[in-house]
Amino acid sequence: MTKKIFTEIDTPALLIEKSVMENNISRMQKIANDNNVNLRPHTKTHKSPDLARKQLRAGAVGVAVAKLGEAEVMAAHGFDDIQIANIIVGDIKIRRLLDLHRKVKRITCTVDSIVAAKAIAEAFKQNQRIMEVFIEINTGHNRSGLNELGKIKELAEFILNTDYLKFAGLFSHPGHAYNTNTIGQVKTIAKQEADQLFTIHDELGEESIVADEISVGSTPTARFSAKILGINEIRPGNYIFYDVIQVSLGSCTFDDCALNVLTTVISTPSQGIAIIDAGAKALSLDRVMDGHKESIRHGYIKEKSAQITRISEEHGIIEYKDESFQIGERIRIIPNHACVVMNLFDYAYIVDKTISLLSESIRTDLEMAEANSKLNIWNATVLGDFNVNGLRQYAPLKLRNRGPDRMLFHMKY
């Protein structure tokens, strides 16, 4: 029996399960509320003003973004408290930052060098504006950020002595939590991050340098960081969807994963092998870290025990034993890394999980019509009605538009 799943949608397609996503939003907001910390969702995960509004309505104080292009989109859609969780370097980017500063009530970014801070200050001086910046601290991820107290003090003093910069506080991202093997290790990293930031905070205080905000961010550590007195902002992003990596870290279960790729079996060339129409350009090449769910190679197939053992650009190769796959069968795959997969699609469909599987062979025409009426594919548009170009009967949630005629929502990739 071949199950029919969302036959109105062509594949490969991106599905967002509405009730699961909303539960994720509510649960993280409750963690923040219960611990009296601000929640600033990192919207790089979904890149959607529509979904960011849901997070703000739930209680988030503002949004974080990964880059200027994302900030420009959020600003164009009325968001007025935006944190660019990145370092802005270069004349072009600083001009864009200035333009955003004119439009948004509060915008911040990070710095980890006097060179970067000075360039921003000089540009803002010419325009008689004051830019608010965080000092980024390296708490173990070993990407950008400072960890030498002397350099941190020097940078903080430069900011304080510059009329056109304002010192917002300390900022960190414990990305090394993704390399852990147990929940205990994740919790330890959250504590170590906080301890390091508090030490820096206190050392700066002895020099009369006040770091008002301590902003930390990652989904695995968020629930632990929120409980640490002295942390006043958490910036998780992935939690809105979750994914296989988060399951492997103990952040959630597969039932909490709201994002999945809908794909079709297009070939069964030999026993135990099935080919799907979703490859690297739909599932990404990201893998689960060593020591986590090693049997899950390129995503978790819902309601199956088979594995996607290999992918090329547009094909996925499934190997299976004690089950079957049929040509035309539709399956849903929870991706390893939701943030990357979301970026690979132009559209996503918000669907109701409760009516996700339909089997035409066991339903009457009346039952099928009733079930299809409950599918509830939202008309969840961001920039208006996308049916004007005859895209689909059900308008999908727009992620970005590469077409030259609709550049307002272009993410500047």
Residue pair 239/219 in contact by the 8 Å Cβ criterion: yes
What is the per-residue pLDDT for 292? 52
pLDDT of residue 142: 95
Could you read off the pLDDT of 303-323 as tens digits, one per residue?
999 999 999 999 999 999 999
Phi/psi of residue 317, nearest 5 degrees: -110, 120
The CATH number that domain 1-17+242-413 falls under is 2.40.37.20
Across the chain, what does the average pLDDT equal?
85
**Element (DSSP H or E) covering residue 168:** strand 165-172
Band (370; pLDDT cuts 50, 70, 90): very low
Domain with CATH 2.40.37.20 in the chain: 1-17+242-413
pLDDT at 128: 97
Residues forming beta bridges with residue 83, ordered by sequence position: 64, 108
**pLDDT score of 353 more than 60:** no
Q: Where in the chain is the domain with CATH 3.20.20.10?
A: 35-240
Confidence of residue 402 (pLDDT cuts 50, 70, 90): very low
Average pLDDT, integer, range 132-143: 97
For the entire predicted model, the pTM comes to 0.84
DSSP helix, strand, coil percent of the chain (3-state; round to 5): 40, 20, 40
Chosen CATH of 35-240 out of 3.20.20.10, 3.40.50.2030, 3.55.10.10, 3.10.330.20: 3.20.20.10
For residue 398, what pLDDT band results from cuts at 50, 70 and 90?
A: low
Using one digit for the tens of pLDDT, what is the confidence trace for 201-210?
Answer: 999 999 999 9
In this predicted structure, the answer to whether residue 373 has a pLDDT above a threshold of 60 is no
Q: Look up residue 120 and give its two tokens.
A: 């921003």
Structure tokens at 143: 């990407």
